[in-house]
Each structure stands twice: as structure tokens, then as C-alpha cells.
């Protein structure tokens, strides 16, 4: 799978991408991939998205602050 970095994105495009991402409950990267696939007429791709909410994380309990001399 390839990886791309797009630089110098005009503000108007960035704002539109962020709007679409919010509407679809996606990250801007995920929304960009979907929009590119749609524009290219590619319909046979299933994107897998992962969320931090899907992870079971055991956070350490808070401890007393340690004084630094």
C-alpha cells in the first residue's frame, strides 16, 4: 500500500475537507481517501478505520506527585 503526503493545500480545500470529514465522522485523511476513490469511480474498496475507542487501555492509577529538589 502506498503512502502520500500532500503539501501546500489551499485553505479553501482544507476547510472543505474538514467539513466533509466531520459530516462523515472521519479523520481528514480518511475523508480524503474516500473522496479520491469516489472521484475516480472506484467502488470496490472497503476502507478499514480504527478508533482509539476500540482499544482497551488500562491507564495507570494516579499517584502522588513527586517533589523535585
pTM of the shown model: 0.67
- Domain parsing of the chain, residue ranges: 11-44
- Compute and round to an integer the Cα radius of gyration of the chain: 19
CB 35 within 8 A of CB 20: yes
CA distance 28 to 64: 39
The end-to-end CA distance of the chain, in Å, is 51
pLDDT in tens, 1-40: 888 999 999 999 999 999 999 999 999 999 999 999 999 9
Amino acid at each position: 500500500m502506498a503512502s502520500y503526503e500532500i503539501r501546500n493545500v489551499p485553505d479553501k480545500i482544507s476547510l472543505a475537507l474538514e467539513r466533509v470529514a466531520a459530516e462523515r465522522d472521519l479523520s481528514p485523511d480518511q475523508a480524503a481517501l474516500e473522496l479520491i476513490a469516489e472521484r475516480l469511480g472506484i467502488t470496490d474498496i472497503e476502507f478499514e478505520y480504527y478508533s482509539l475507542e476500540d482499544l482497551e487501555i488500562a491507564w495507570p492509577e494516579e499517584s502522588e506527585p513527586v517533589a523535585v529538589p
